[in-house]
Amino acid sequence: MSNAALSAKTIMVQGTTSDAGKSIFVAALCRCLKQQGINNAPFKPQNMALNSVVTEDGGEIGRAQAVQAQAAGLAPTVDMNPVLLKPSSDTGAQIIIHGKVVSDMQAKAYHDYKTVAMNAVLESHKRLEQSYDVIVVEGAGSPAEINLRDRDIANMGFAEAVDCPVIIIADIDRGGVFAQLVGTLDLLSPSEQNRVKGFVINKFRGDISLLQPGIDWLEERTKKPVLGVLPYLMDLQLAAEDAINAEQAVNPKDQRLVIAVPVFSRISNHTDFDMLRIHPQVELHFVRQGDSIPGCDLIILPGSKNVRSDLQLLRDSNWDADINKHLRYGGKVLGICGGYQMLGQTVCDPTGIEGSIGTSQGLGLLPVTTELTETKQLTQDTGHLLLSSTPKSKNTPITGYQIHVGKTQLAVNAHAMIQLNDGTFDGCISDDNQVAGSYFHGLFDTPEALSEILLWAGAKVDVIETYQSHQEKQLDYLANACHKHVNWHALHNIIGIEATLP
């Protein structure tokens, strides 16, 4: 525990819009404060995301908070994201409190449940206060969403409850940054406006002197300082929270192995593909709805929060025909979690876990059947691959985590893809070695496993750095930009701490 635990400080970052840069800026602050010798932790009261991770104690939180925890030099815990909402439809979501599933709720029901959720949020924040000097909080969306202000727990509702200062960040690359900042501020109540201590402008490119007249006007108009203008870091490669970043999706086209990933409506954990995005010998394509799957070496079906619905989308998009054609030409297909379930014979939902009760026919490419159940599996696992790409592949170590409902039954004599260290098995490989599936998220994060899977798909690849070491370099790169372009003297005063810059 920190010596200053009883006087822990909290600073909150809110944004003018979704994807304004809140998650990345909080990660930057966590790494910068760590480098300044400040014991800090990230916190997001409520996160709505389909990208999640499993904590060491078997809880589930948003992926962004795991990245922020790494930035602070910590293992992620459920207290860093006490409320996680995983959308299962346009109006409903799975509600996860302190890492465990509570229920599936429609939007109206969850609105009535927010007082319970707020208690969980404040409990977690209090526990973090007892262990860290500074809590760096990330808001959600925009604090100026008028229809969401009642019983708000994600933005100003939380800031008012814990009496913390707020910084508002806006993305200038979208255009209209001054309207975003002034408009957001004007829509806040007087007490909330007083809580805002400054602004950060994100993703600026060009001559800063040309922006200065606008900054001067903004500071005069609002009587609040611009604390920093962060540059557009074109080559930053950190896990995105939810939206797939097309700018990071494809490596140069002269690379060897071409991989295509169909994008489902309820795609989950697309960060599974982060190591493929940056691999120098991989060309990665995300295939949007309405587009055909292009010629490639490997098709990967990603996870899904609503497997039967996305399986129907796959058929409606004619992707099933594209997959069969791909296999006829000798290509490989890999399914992850929900994508693995789709590759089987049937997906049965006898109690309506993901919506309507019923059974959907799978693609019939693996000898497995899946039944969705009430119990959610949340585990961190280690084992070794059972692929047959090279003689040594069956000794290749792999680590990952499982987040799924449902039990998948393999047919007699079916071949598993992974043997876990406890002697159990995961996944399946077809007899012809063309199709494989696994429940493992983080399948590509272990360098040796990534190389073996790419070899199985037909590439000649080198072992590259681990996902963790890559993230470390990216976080340091981000922190260097933050150190350089943020007024740290002013920020320290806002937080209420004294620190020495590195």
Quick one: tokens of 460?
Answer: 């000649």
Residue-averaged pLDDT of the chain: 90
Phi, psi of 106 (to 5 degrees): -80, 160
3-state SS assignment for residue 243: coil
Q: Is the CATH number of domain 5-236+472-495 3.40.50.300? A: yes
Would you state the torsion angle of the CA atoms of residues 132, 24, 299, 359, taken in this order, to the nearest 10 degrees?
60
CA distances to 165, 320, 323 from 328, rounded to whole Å, are 60, 13, 9
How far apart (Å, rounded) are the C-alpha atoms in residues 168 and 430? Answer: 52
CA distances to 84, 97, 130, 403 from 79, rounded to whole Å, are 11, 10, 12, 18
The tokens 């822990």 sit on which residue?
8
Strands 298-301 vs 332-336: parallel, antiparallel or unpaired: parallel
* Domain residue extents for the chain: 5-236+472-495, 257-460
Could you report the per-residue pLDDT of 367-388, keeping only the tens digit for each? Answer: 999 999 988 889 999 999 998 7
Q: Looking at domain 257-460, which of 2.60.40.10, 3.40.50.720, 3.90.1150.10, 3.40.50.880 is its CATH number?
A: 3.40.50.880
Quick one: tokens of 491?
Answer: 């920020």
Indicate the pLDDT class of residue 1, thresholds 50, 70 and 90.
very low
Q: Please give the order of strands across the beta sheet that includes 46-48.
A: 46-48, 83-87, 92-97, 100-106
pLDDT for 229 beyond 90: yes
Closest to 63 measured CA to CA, from 283, 322, 287, 267 = 267
Indicate the pLDDT class of residue 82, thresholds 50, 70 and 90.
very high
DSSP 485: H
Ramachandran region, residue 411 (left: φ > 0; alpha: ψ -120 to 50; beta: rest):
beta
What is the reported pLDDT for 210?
93
How many CA atoms does the CB half-sphere of 261 hold within 13 Å? 28
User: 5-236+472-495 and 257-460 share one CATH topology?
Assistant: yes
DSSP 273: G
Strands 435-438 vs 83-87: parallel, antiparallel or unpaired: unpaired
* Percent above pLDDT 70 for the chain: 93
Could you report the per-residue pLDDT of 159-213, keeping only the tens digit for each? Answer: 999 999 999 999 999 999 999 999 999 999 999 999 999 999 999 998 999 999 9
From the number of C-beta atoms within 10 Å of its C-beta (0-12, 13-18, 19+), residue 177 rates as buried
What is the reported pLDDT for 243?
53
H-helix or E-strand spanning residue 474: helix 467-485
| pTM for this entry | 0.75
- Annotated catalytic residues are 337, 441
Strand partners, 228: 200, 486
How far apart (Å, rounded) are the C-alpha atoms in residues 496 and 502? Answer: 19
What is the reported pLDDT for 172?
96
**Candidate ranges 263-277, 311-325, 464-478; pick with highest mean pLDDT:** 311-325
The tokens 């933005």 sit on which residue?
155
Q: What is the largest CA-CA distance in the chain?
A: 74
Could you report the per-residue pLDDT of 105-161, keeping only the tens digit for each? Answer: 998 899 899 999 999 999 999 999 999 999 999 999 999 998 888 899 999 999 999
